[in-house]
Amino acid sequence: MKKIWALILADKSAKAAIGFLVLLITVIFTLGGCDHGGSGGSIVKISTAEQFNAIRNQLDGHYVLEADIDLSGYANWEPIGQFVAASDKPEDAENPDMTKVFSGTFDGNGHTISNITINRPDIPVGVGLFGFSVGGSIRNLTIKNVNVTGFFLVGGLVGGQACTVENITLVGTNTITGVNGTGGIVGVSMAGLKNCTATANIVVSNMAINGVDNGYAGIVAGGREGPTPLIDCTASGSITATGDSCILGGVCGAALGKDEVRGCKAINVTINAPQGKGNIGGLLGFVGPIEGEEDADAPALVINCKVENTAITVASGTVNVGGLAGGSLNGSIAPAEHTGDKTIFKIKDCQASGTITGGSTAIGSIVGYAYKSTVENSTSTVTRTGGALNQIGQSASS
């Protein structure tokens, strides 16, 4: 992890913060791939908390939950699967030892795991019921009453996820606290998220490191970049930033790259960032590729999504705030030069309602800053304290 820490400690710009997340999820999951499905063999049936805890002894196995499980007997749950460097060699500092991550399959079979308490800010990356899941899948599970505190990549279900997560429901009283990549279900995703519903209070503690503030928070996922879409996920609850956070979204903080976000909803979400710098939206904080990775044939796409009754409160100087999405990197706190005619993102067939309080420039009822981007066939009744808003707060073509 040495190069990762060097990057985040050395550069204080919002662009560097986004670049840090891209580097982190790309390097960590390079060896992971998707849907490996574990090592083969028979399915292990899980009926007790003790049996579930024993999954850590066979991280590439296949498991199915046969009964509801209460984890209240574990005062401080140890995440299943963790990031450990592949070797002591400098070139392996950011590569995972694949024997330490969870690479198997876990089918919740419609059951519930409840009363999960994790207080592990000492773990550098990856905190959740599962710390790291690379390959395989986690699906068909309800998690209830989750209280998780971590550092980077913190989620109620899994901190760092590099394969299928689907049909997950987070219910009850849930608080997830982290510094960067913090989400109710997933901290940071490098793969598909489908049919996930989360009700949670997300707290971005913003522990500044050498003056660098961090963010990336969402009620379903803190951040993501994946070859498969974010589909039919619903969020409700709150996001609270206790420092100079940027990149907060009701469903997902940052949807990076050529990501597709389809059929997602944020309902009755409250976002409160009294010192927030920028890129804050009812559904997504940041959307689109980082500069230099644009693809004219495959822009990021946000389609058939809905934000209902959102309430966003930000600092008076916050930029890039939207009822649906905050904006793209090129209109962020530290705008970068950009040339060419490639489209950054498209928002299509979406709806939004709610209020925005505060902010300075690039405030829109659909999107705050639309750099070489379009909004099509979308409606919004989002208002800003004191008056109405245009759908696009600010747009630019170069």
Render pLDDT for 125-138 as a digit per residue (tens, 0 to 9): 899 999 999 888 99
pLDDT of residue 334: 39
Q: In CATH, which of 3.20.20.220, 3.30.1600.10, 2.160.20.110, 3.10.20.30 is domain 2-396? A: 2.160.20.110
pLDDT of residue 166: 96
pLDDT of residue 2: 34
Question: Strand pairing of 193-194 and 175-178?
Answer: unpaired
Cβ(245)–Cβ(284) under 8 Å? Answer: no
Helix axes 2-10, 14-29, angle to 10 degrees: 170
User: Alpha carbon of 259 to those of 138, 186, 229, 294, 300: distances in Å?
Assistant: 21, 16, 6, 11, 5
Low-confidence ranges of the chain (pLDDT < 50): 1-20, 23, 27-36, 38, 332-339
How many residues make up the chain in this entry? 398
Cβ(35)–Cβ(164) under 8 Å? Answer: yes
Here the tokens at position 179 are 């510094």
Region of residue 78 (phi > 0: left; psi between -120 and 50: alpha; otherwise: beta): beta
Structure pTM? 0.89
Cβ(9)–Cβ(210) under 8 Å? Answer: yes
Domain extents in the chain: 2-396
Here the tokens at position 119 are 């207080």
The burial class, CB within 10 Å (0-12 / 13-18 / 19+), for 280 is buried
Residue type, 183: G
